[in-house]
Amino acid sequence: MLQFLQNVERICSQDDVPLQELRNALKVSEEEPVMIEQNTLLPSRISDWFTLRKYRITGSVVHRVCNFYVYKPSHPENIVKSTFTSAAMRLGFELKPKVLERYEATKKADNDEVSLKKIGLLIDTQYVFLAA
């Protein structure tokens, strides 16, 4: 895992990386997504989570990617490399456990069977530029 992370960081952090080289760096085998998801679930592996999602399109940046156009005075790398946080995001992160607990309790009170499960980073083997 460490070698994979170092390779991704080394190649993806360069300027003007050929597209095929970038794809190869982000490529994962059929088994790796399971390992990545399990490893990024652990709090001690939060830096791995950031490294693995840093060069991929995630829910946090998909709106900016879809609304990007060539005539905008923004560089494409600024879209995926930005690390935007706000007071609302920090509050959401802090309240997340309580909100999930309340959601689960509400669903159970309505007799809706729901089971919440914490997961790590998800990467598709075919579309390796996407992560969730």
- CA angle (93, 58, 28) in 5-degree steps: 120
State how far the Cα of 47 lies from the Cα of 117, in Å rounded to an integer. 21
What band does 79 get if pLDDT is binned at 50, 70 and 90?
Answer: low
3 state SS of 74:
coil
Summarize the confidence of residues 95-112 as an average pLDDT. 91
Taking only the tens place, the pLDDT of each residue in 108-130 is: 999 988 888 888 889 988 988 88
pLDDT of residue 114: 84
- What predicted TM-score, i.e. pTM, was given to this entire model? 0.68
Distance from the Cα of residue 92 to its chain's centroid = 17
Q: Is the pLDDT of residue 46 over 80?
A: no
Give me the residue spans of the domains in the chain: 2-109
Where b means 16+ CB within 10 Å and e means fewer, 84-98 reads eeeeeeeeeeeeeee
Tell me which of 108 and 46 has the higher pLDDT. 108
Do 36 and 28 meet the contact criterion of CB atoms below 8 Å apart?
Answer: yes
